[in-house]
């Protein structure tokens, strides 16, 4: 017969030991609930929207905010229209947009400007072209300029990539129509491709030697693309601030009518001097830089 294993009998446990078994979990729970970072550590914010904002500053800002506060901020792109719709249906706590309010947007959503951006025109790094005029750009979108050779570039068809949301207005498309095309729609050609978000547009230009697109400076500077000058003026933080480079536009964070307190606190941080200086450290044009 095997050796008999003796288990301690419950009735032999002293009253003090029984109390200890109860008090230890309660003590741990109270430490989590009432410690300075306990409630913050359990807080998570979610966001979606403008791909330019997501790539350009929001992902980095979310990591910095978590480092400082313990509050996680989970962000994804998808485009301004996606962010607005997600906010409308309460799928996210806040959204990012790179266009101003337009017809059809929820009236009870606040558009809060947090930074500045500028439209830029991008090509593959192998494209020898370095500068365009706005008239050149309009001609490309109008279907009048279809080969890079017409712009003293290589002899190849221009492949135009355009961000177009499935519903609502893409931030880059809306800004391009307002600032460049003056309300005229791009002409669809066999070499025009409409894509769901600006992030996909940028990725297509990264991999397409004949590619051309409009995007935001804030995200384009992080991509393997060439940003073209406009009439010899390069897109840069300094040129945007000094208004030498045209096509400046605002970047927004959107909040619902009754936001989570944590979401309001996040926006308050972004708007604070400390938050704006952090954006500046990311090479983003902050509100402090433009008066």
pLDDT in tens, 88-122: 999 999 999 999 998 888 889 999 999 999 999 99
Is pLDDT at 7 greater than 70 in this prediction? no
Q: How confident is the model at residue 165 (pLDDT cuts 50, 70, 90)?
A: confident
C-alpha separations of 96 from 59, 68, 76, 207, 253 in Å: 11, 21, 10, 27, 5
Write out the residue range of the structural domain in which residue 271 sits: 43-117+250-286
Q: Is residue 37 part of a domain?
A: no
What pLDDT is stored for residue 85 in this prediction?
Answer: 93
The answer on 138 and 95 residing in a single domain is no
Percent share of the chain, pLDDT over 70: 85
Classify burial at 106, counting beta carbons within 10 Å of its beta carbon; exposed 0-12, middle 13-18, buried 19 or more.
middle
Same domain, 216 and 265: no
Regarding whether 81 and 106 lie in a shared domain, the answer is yes
Question: Is the per-residue pLDDT at 14 higher than 90?
Answer: no
Averaged pLDDT for residues 51-57: 96
For residue 8, pLDDT over 90 is answered with no
78 pLDDT exceeds 80? yes
**Average of pLDDT values for 2-28?**
40
One domain, residues 235 and 135 = yes
Q: Are 253 and 114 in contact (CB under 8 A)?
A: yes
- Cβ neighbour number for residue 158 with a 10 Å cutoff: 21
Please report whether residue 10 resides in a domain: no
Residue 180: predicted pLDDT? 96
> Above 50 in pLDDT, residue 12?
no
Average pLDDT for the chain = 87
Q: How many domains does the chain have?
A: 2
pLDDT digits (tens, 9 = 90+) for 176-196: 999 999 989 999 999 999 998
Q: Is 129 exposed, middle or buried (0-12, 13-18, 19+ CB in 10 A)?
A: middle
Indicate the pairing of strand 211-216 with strand 94-97: unpaired
Examine residue 7 and state whether it is found in any structural domain, yes or no.
no
> Is the pLDDT score of 25 beyond 90?
no
Q: Does 82 fall in a domain? A: yes
Q: Over range 166-176, report the average pLDDT.
A: 84
The pLDDT value recorded for residue 29 is 37
What does pTM read for this prediction?
Answer: 0.83
pLDDT at 102: 87
267 plus 206 within the same structural domain: no
Residue 14 falls inside a structural domain? no
Residue 203 has pLDDT above 90, yes or no: yes
Residue 28 forms part of a structural domain:
no
CATH number for 257: 3.40.190.10
What confidence score (pLDDT) does residue 42 get? 57
């Amino acid at each position: 017969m095997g050796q008999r294993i003796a288990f301690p009998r419950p009735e032999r446990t002293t009253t003090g030991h029984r109390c200890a078994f109860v008090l230890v979990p309660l003590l741990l729970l109270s430490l989590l609930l009432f410690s300075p970072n306990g409630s913050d550590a359990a807080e998570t914010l979610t966001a979606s929207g403008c791909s330019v904002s997501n790539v350009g500053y929001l992902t980095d800002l979310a990591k910095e905010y978590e480092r400082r506060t313990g509050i996680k901020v989970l962000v994804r792109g998808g485009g301004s229209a996606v962010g607005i719709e997600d906010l409308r249906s309460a799928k996210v706590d806040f959204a990012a947009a790179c266009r101003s309010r337009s017809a059809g947007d929820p009236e009870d959503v606040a558009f809060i400007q947090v930074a500045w951006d500028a439209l830029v025109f991008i090509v593959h790094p192998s494209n020898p072209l370095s500068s365009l005029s706005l008239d050149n750009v309009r001609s490309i979108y109008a279907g009048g300029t279809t080969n890079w050779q017409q712009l003293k570039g290589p002899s190849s068809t221009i492949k135009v990539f355009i961000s177009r949301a499935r519903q609502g207005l893409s931030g880059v498309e809306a800004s391009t129509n307002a600032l460049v095309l003056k309300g005229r729609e791009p002409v669809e050609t066999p070499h025009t491709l409409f894509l769901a978000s600006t992030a996909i547009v940028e990725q297509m230009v990264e991999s397409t030697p004949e590619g051309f697109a409009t995007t935001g400076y804030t995200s384009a500077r992080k991509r393997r693309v060439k940003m073209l000058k406009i009439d010899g003026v390069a897109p840069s933080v300094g040129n945007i601030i000094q208004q030498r480079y045209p096509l400046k536009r605002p970047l927004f964070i959107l909040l619902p009518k009754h936001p989570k307190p944590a979401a309001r606190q996040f926006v308050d941080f972004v708007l604070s001097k400390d938050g704006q200086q952090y954006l500046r450290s990311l090479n983003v044009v902050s509100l402090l830089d433009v008066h």
